[in-house]
Amino acid sequence: MEGGLVMTEIRLAHLYALAVLEYADVKGLNDVYRQVSVLVRSGKIRAENAEPEDLRELLRKVPPNELEDTLMRFLDIARSKMNSIFVEVISAVPLTEKQLYEVQYNLIRKLRRQLDFTATVDPSIIGGIRIIIEDRVIDHSVRHFLLDMKEALYKGVYQTHA
Residue pLDDT, tens place only, 123-157: 999 999 999 998 899 999 999 999 999 998 888 76
Looking from the CA of 20 toward its CB, the CA atoms found within 13 Å total: 36
State the Cα–Cα distance between residues 81 and 75, nearest whole angstrom.
Answer: 10
41 and 76 both lie in a single domain: yes
Give the domain extent around 120: 84-160
27 and 13 both lie in a single domain: yes
Torsion of CA 141, 147, 148, 154, to 10 degrees: 170
89 and 119 both lie in a single domain: yes
95 and 76 both lie in a single domain: no
Listed residues 39, 65, 81: the one ending a domain: 81
Summarize pLDDT for 69-105 with one digit per residue, the tens. 999 999 999 999 998 999 999 999 999 999 999 999 9
Listed residues 81, 96, 111: the one ending a domain: 81
Which stretch of DSSP H or E encloses residue 5?
Answer: helix 2-27
Torsion of CA 136, 38, 72, 53, to 10 degrees: -170
What's the structural domain count of the chain?
A: 2
Listed residues 63, 81, 99: the one ending a domain: 81
4: confidence class by pLDDT, cuts 50, 70, 90: low
- Give Cα separations from 127 to 55, 89, 118, 141 (angstroms): 40, 13, 18, 6
150 and 90 both lie in a single domain: yes
Torsion sign, CA atoms 118, 123, 129, 131: negative
